[in-house]
Structure 1
Amino acid sequence: MAKVAIITGASSGIGRVSAVALSKTGWSLVLFARRLEKLVETQRLCDNPDQCLVVQGDVANEESVKDLFKKTLERYGRLDLVFNNAGMNSPQVPIEELSLQQFQQVINANLIGPFLCTREAIRIFKSQTPQGGRIINNGSISAYTPRPHSAPYTSSKHAILGLTKSTSLDGRAYNIACTEIDIGGARTDMAIGHSAGALQPDGRVISEALFDAEHVGNTIAYIADLPLDVTVLTVNIMATGMPYVGRG
C-alpha cells in the first residue's frame, strides 16, 4: 500500500517539485493550495496523476485545513507525511513602513498554517495503526540569519524552528518525526529576484547564486522515505555561492 503525503503550497515552486519527486517514489499525494488551476498543473506533472487528490483551500483558515485532513482520510484512510510548505513574504521595506495587516498575513500563512496542519496531522498519527508519521516544515535560512527589512518573514521562520523542535519532542513517544528544511537560493518565483539583485546588510545590491529547485524535491523525498525511527531535525540546502556563511 502506497504511503500518503499532504503537501501544502503544492501549486508551484518547492511544493510542486516535491510533489513530483514523491510521486516518482510511489507516494499517494494530497495537493493543497489556493489556486486550483495551478494545483491541477502539478497533478498532471506527477508520475501517477490518479494517485493525486487535489484540494483547494487556504492554509491559514482553520475550517479549510480541517476539510483537507477529512478529505485525505476519506480518500486514503491514513496519513504518513505532511510537508508544511505554503508560505509568503512581505514587502522588503523598513519595519516602520509595514502595516499590521501585512505582518499578520505573513504570520498567518507561515506560522498559523503549519500549526493547524501539525495539530490535525498529529491527531491522525496518534490514532491510526500503525501509529506515527512524519512532518516536514519549510523553514528558511532566515530561521537563523535574516535579510535586511524582513522582520515578518524572519519572525515567522524563527517560530517554525520552535514548532519543529516542540513537535519532535512531543511526538517522540508516538513514533512522530519532525524535520525543518532550510532552503537558500532555490530557483523559484519567490527567490528569482535575488539573481537580479538582492539587498545586502552593507547596503550593496548584488546578484545571488541560485540552484535548481528539483534538488529540494529530491531532499524531501529522501527524508520522507526514512524509517520513522530516524529523524533529521534540521537540514540546510542552499546554493554554494550564497552569501550566508559569513553574511554581513
Structure 2
Amino acid sequence: MSLSSPSPSSGKIALVTGAGSGIGRACALALQAAGYSVALAGRREAPLLETAALAAPGGGRMLVVPTDVGQPESVQALFAAIRSAFGRLDLLFNNAGANAPGIPMEELSFEQWNAVVAVNLTGVFLCAQQAMRLMKEQDPRGGRIINNGSISAHAPRPDSAPYTATKHAITGLTKCISLDGRKYNIACGQIDIGNAATDMTQRMTAGVRQANGSVMVEPRMDLRHVSDAILYMAGLPLEANVQFLTVMATTMPFVGRG
C-alpha cells in the first residue's frame, strides 16, 4: 500500500476497482484530475502504481491497495485502508472484471466458471457491502455506487455464459443496492459499456465471431467517453441518480444483435 503526497482536492473520496488498466485506469485518472482522492484497487500492485504515477498535478491523492475483490478478507483490508487514509468514501466504481475462454459452455470447467463469478459478481457484492457499511456510518451520511454492467448485461456474445450471466446478475444487484441504500442516502447506478478502445477489445479490430457464425470487425469508441460518463454520474447530487446508462460505439452490433 502506498499513498501519494497530499494535494488540493474537492474533498470527495472515490474507490475504483480494476484500476490498473483500461476502463478502471481511465476513470480513476479522470476522477483524480477532477479533484477526487482515489483509492486504486486491483490484484497486481505494479499496474496500480503505474496508474498512480499518471496522476494529474494539483488533483486528488492516490492510494494504491492491491486487492483480490473476490476474497472477503482482501476487501475488508481494502476498506480498512480507506478508513485509515481518508475516513470516508463518497464514490465506489465497481469496475473489476474477468472473463473465461470463449469456448462452448459445455466445455467450461467448474474452476473457470467460479473464477468469473468470484470477480464479476461476488467481488461487486463484497465491495458494495463494505461501501454501504461505511457510507451509512459517515458524516455526512451517504454516497454513490456505480456498477460496470457492460453491454453483456443485455445481450450475450457467443460462448460467453459466465461473463453474460454475471453481468445480467449485476443488473439485479444494482436494483437491490438502489432500493436498500435509499434509507442511508446511498445512490446506485449501472453503466453499460460497449466496445471502448482498450487492450481487452483490441481483438475486435481483427474481427470477432458473431451470432450467425461470421467474423466481423467491430467499431470501437474512445475510452474518454466512458470516463466522461462516469464523471457525469458521479457529479450528480445524491438527490438525483442515473439508474442505467449505456455508452457504446454507435455502429457496434448491439441493437438487433443476433
TM more than 0.5: yes
Residue 71 (structure 1) aligns with: 81
Give the deviation of 1:50 after TM superposition: 6.9
Structure 2: which amino acid aligns with 1:98?
A: L
Residue 28 (structure 1) aligns with: 37
Residue 104 (structure 1) aligns with: 114
Give the deviation of 1:13 after TM superposition: 0.3
Q: Residue 41 in 1 paired to residue 55 in 2?
A: no
Indicate if the aligned counterparts of 2:36 and 2:60 stay in contact, CA closer than 8 A.
Answer: no
Counting matched residue pairs gives 248
Structure 2: which amino acid aligns with 1:243?
A: P
Which residues in structure 2 correspond to 1:70-219 (within 5 Å)? 70-219=80-229
Out of 15, 18, 41, the residue aligned to residue 6 of structure 1 is: 15
Q: Deviations over 1:95-149 (max 9, x none)?
A: 1110010000000010000000000000011111111000000111111110011
Moved more, 190-199 or 157-166: 190-199
Residue 257 (structure 2) aligns with: 247
Out of 203, 223, 245, the residue aligned to residue 235 of structure 1 is: 245
Q: Deviations over 1:50-107 (max 9, x none)?
A: 7101001211111110000010010011110110000111111111110010000000
Indicate if the aligned counterparts of 2:33 and 2:60 stay in contact, CA closer than 8 A.
Answer: no
Distance 1:189 1:237 in 2: 18
Identity within the alignment, %: 54
The unaligned stretches of length 5 or more in structure 2 are: 1-9
Out of 34, 56, 68, the residue aligned to residue 58 of structure 1 is: 68
Moved more, 48-57 or 17-26: 48-57
Distance 1:190 1:81 in 2: 25
- Higher relative contact order, structure no. (Cα contacts within 8 Å, ≥ 6 residues apart): 1
Local SS of the residue matching 1:149: coil
The TM-score normalised by the length of structure 2 is: 0.94
Structure 1: which amino acid aligns with 2:26?
A: V
Give the deviation of 1:207 after TM superposition: 0.3
Out of 210, 217, 224, the residue aligned to residue 234 of structure 2 is: 224
The unaligned stretches of length 5 or more in structure 1 are: none
Q: Deviations over 1:157-202 (max 9, x none)?
A: 0000000000001111211000110000001122111221111111
Distance 2:62 2:24 in 1: 13
Distance 1:168 1:34 in 2: 27
Distance 1:2 1:50 in 2: 8
Over 4 Å off, 4+ runs: none
Distance 1:137 1:46 in 2: 23
Q: CA RMSD in A?
A: 1.1
Indicate if the aligned counterparts of 2:19 and 2:28 stay in contact, CA closer than 8 A.
Answer: yes
The TM-score normalised by the length of structure 1 is: 0.98
Residue 4 (structure 2) aligns with: none
Distance 2:169 2:132 in 1: 19
Distance 2:14 2:141 in 1: 15
Distance 2:208 2:182 in 1: 40
Distance 1:139 1:202 in 2: 24
Distance 1:134 1:60 in 2: 21
Distance 1:57 1:118 in 2: 14
Residue 7 (structure 2) aligns with: none
